[in-house]
Amino acid sequence: MNSNSSLISIGNFDLKLNHLLIIGILSLSFSVSFLLRVQPADFGYELNEFDPFFNYRATQYIVDNGIPAYFEWNDDLSWYPSGRDVSSNSQIILHLTAATTYWIFGGDVDLYDFTILFPVIFSSLSAIVIFALVRVIGGTTAGLFSAILFSVSIPLLIRSPLGWFKSEPLGIFFSLLFVYLLLSGINSKNKKIAFIKLVGSGVFTIFSISAWGGNQFFIIPIGILFLTLPFLRTDHKFLMWAIPVYTVTAILISFMFERVNISELWGISLIASTLFLVSCILIQNKSSKNKQRNGLLFLIALLVTTAIIFTIPSDSEFLPTASHRYLNAINPFLTTTDPLVDSVSEHATTTLAQSFLFHSVLMIFSGIGIWIIIKNAQTKNSNFINNDMLSFSLILGICGVYISSTFVRLEVFASIAVIVLASLGLTALTKEFFKNKSQSKKPIHKLLQLPFVTGIIILLLIPMIYPAGSEPSSIIHNPPTILNGGSSFPIATNDWLDALDWMKNNTPKDAVIASWWDYGYWIQTMGERAALADNSTVSTYTIQNIAKMLLSNPDTAWNTLNEMQADYVLVFVAAEKVNVESDTSLYTLRGGGDESKKQWFMKIAGYDTSKYLHSDGTSGTDYFWNETLLGKMFPFSLLGYVNPNNLNQQSLTFVPGYIGIYEKDIKFTSDSDGPLRLVYTSSSFTEEKIGPMIGVFIYEINKDYQPLS
């Protein structure tokens, strides 16, 4: 049957076989995306990571109190005692979208369960949106390739599994949607439809930035595209009103959100590129000859001026300040200059090994795609991509790869860029091998078609099954963070959930909890208690003060805790019980709890680590274990060191390459008259099981203690 044959006619619409094929592939992409992302449910149906717990609590606040109350909300459980003005520094559109969709589709489902599934739905829908986007760039075939590749992309899967109620899933959905509407709008032949799409694109541009600030980087290729349009297209009258409509809409909508400021990266990029486009077209129209040259001279002048502006010292008030994270993404050389930023695992610099794992075979198709597309463009032989769309795909590819080189978290941009280019490359290859008979008369060409298809399928399947343990289905199959504490152990326990439940039911409602900022959102949401610091990291000073407190001697730390009005202190230890013949339970401490973060505490506090750590940068010195509050809060004492490759080689003092062996030792007991009293110990610590141990320990601050200093 011919693919263009009509199957069903509904009014003026004819359902054809190729429509069924498109629907089938999109349904498959959605289903694969959904099934991969729900795998963490094997361990437990919980929110995943840290930020989702605040986002859930913010959404709950809207559901319980309404939208107007949300914009007046000062969260008194955050950053005690000052609180947090939520609407001024939160992902507002994420909370509003979740609450609105819950009102519409939630029914009798508990909001907590609804927010767990929320990122899976929007991430799976994004596979359909990227189809529409790439279809505008390179046609239906390219769009279908992109939907399939999107559904199995490792960087995108990592940032949107079940329970990942964070910025990226909704932010990427909105960003793909606004780019689709923009490109579709400037390519539309109908001016009314173009106007509607451009206005919609401006609206969703701001929605995407409000959902995730990282989407500002999507504006970079958009701005560069605007710089190229006067040289790539001749319909200058259309561009003169179309691009300003988009930009003005985005600027007007931005005034609705406190956190989205036009003086930031996105605003400067859009405004400057739009002004250039309009000015360049006016210059070209005023020029009787050498129009392109005059436009290029104007572009060069703009680029030189921009370069000069960015040489102005960062402490100058001439330029608006920007978050270190955004500056870091633009300038990778800043990577190790801020220990607070560097201490976050998702801010680690992307390695070549990670990039290859993430993109592997797609890099090959991207390279082929770039070569074939440029070759066809040079020979005027391309029949599926226009020069402006070619320009955008290449700009997106370069920007995506560059931006993602700084943070692992930003690999999603490289992934989207590579997916677009690989889809275009696969489409170009497919069109070359499946030309019409009139175009290809060589029998050998037809004989190569089957091996070609087989080879493509094999190449695309390799990343799905190899290397073992690094394929998408394995990488995404991890327990929600609250079930393993964010440790390196792939286990699921109730230690954190039980500890937070104990906190909620056994401490005064006005109690204030001190802990490292990693656990702030868990304490506020599940423990329902105020925290001194949390994952929003809005006060570097407070975090530094907590770090200094933990590294002080117990008496000084007690004074600091009282000054900060804390009532309890929480510490988390990830250890592993060693299976050796001994009457004493022996442990190693290097599982990803506070025992593994202590070097970051020191760097953030601005302390010399050599006082607290041995030459390996992780093993604590005698001073750390015997003199600091943190060392004494860990319910373990050092016995000695052992060679992990030869357990018979042991030492009572530190030896490079050896690992510490510890025994249980609670220094601040429940009846202690010291500065702290241990009031809660999680069950894994007392069970004495061989293997990983997730320990949550809550100490009450002894208000009657009399420090010696």
Gap between the Cα atoms of 454 and 413, Å rounded = 29
**Residue 40 pLDDT > 70:** yes
Gap between the Cα atoms of 347 and 407, Å rounded = 5
Quote the percentage of the chain above a pLDDT of 90. 57
Region of poorest pLDDT, from 16-20, 507-511, 606-610: 16-20
Given the structure tokens 């609590």, which residue do they identify? 57
Q: What is the pLDDT of residues 65-94, one digit of tens each?
A: 999 999 999 999 999 999 999 999 899 999
Closest CA to 140 of 325, 4, 277: 4
Contact 635/666 with Cβ under 8 angstroms? Answer: yes
pLDDT of the residue at 304:
65
Mean pLDDT computed over 180-197: 95
> Between β-strands 646-651 and 659-664, what pairing exists: parallel, antiparallel or unpaired?
unpaired
Closest CA to 213 of 248, 261, 247: 261
Between these two residues, 474 and 45, which has the higher pLDDT value? 45
**Residue 477 pLDDT > 60:** yes
Gap between the Cα atoms of 675 and 34, Å rounded = 50
Q: For residues 600, 603, 607 and 609, what is the CA-based torsion angle, rounded to 10 degrees?
A: 60
Domain ranges of the chain: 167-321, 482-701
Closest CA to 537 of 547, 527, 529: 547
Mean pLDDT computed over 482-489: 92
Return the half-sphere exposure (C-beta side, CA atoms, 13 A cut-off) of residue 116. 16
What type of residue sits at position 292?
Answer: Q
**How would residue 289 be classed by pLDDT, with cut points 50, 70 and 90?**
low
Mean pLDDT computed over 431-439: 61
**Residue 519 pLDDT > 60:** yes
How crowded is residue 9: how many other Cβ atoms within 10 Å of its Cβ? 9
**Residue 325 pLDDT > 60:** no
CA distances (Å), origin 179, targets 524, 536, 598 = 37, 29, 43
Region of poorest pLDDT, from 35-49, 372-386, 687-701: 372-386
Burial status of residue 366 (CB atoms within 10 A of its CB: 0-12, 13-18, 19 or more)? buried
**Residue 314 pLDDT > 50:** no
Mean pLDDT computed over 437-456: 57
Gap between the Cα atoms of 336 and 340, Å rounded = 10
Mean of the per-residue pLDDT values for the chain? 85
How crowded is residue 5: how many other Cβ atoms within 10 Å of its Cβ? 10
**How would residue 360 be classed by pLDDT, with cut points 50, 70 and 90?**
confident
Gap between the Cα atoms of 200 and 196, Å rounded = 6
* Collapsed DSSP state (helix, strand, coil) of residue 678: strand
Region of poorest pLDDT, from 133-147, 277-291, 512-526, 633-647: 277-291
Region of poorest pLDDT, from 22-26, 409-413, 698-702: 409-413
Structure tokens, 148: 């399939």
Between these two residues, 621 and 298, which has the higher pLDDT value? 621
**Residue 227 pLDDT > 70:** yes
pLDDT of the residue at 670:
93
Gap between the Cα atoms of 7 and 292, Å rounded = 50
Mean pLDDT computed over 555-570: 97
How crowded is residue 427: how many other Cβ atoms within 10 Å of its Cβ? 27
**Residue 246 pLDDT > 80:** yes
Mean pLDDT computed over 292-297: 67
**Residue 628 pLDDT > 80:** yes
**How would residue 447 be classed by pLDDT, with cut points 50, 70 and 90?**
low
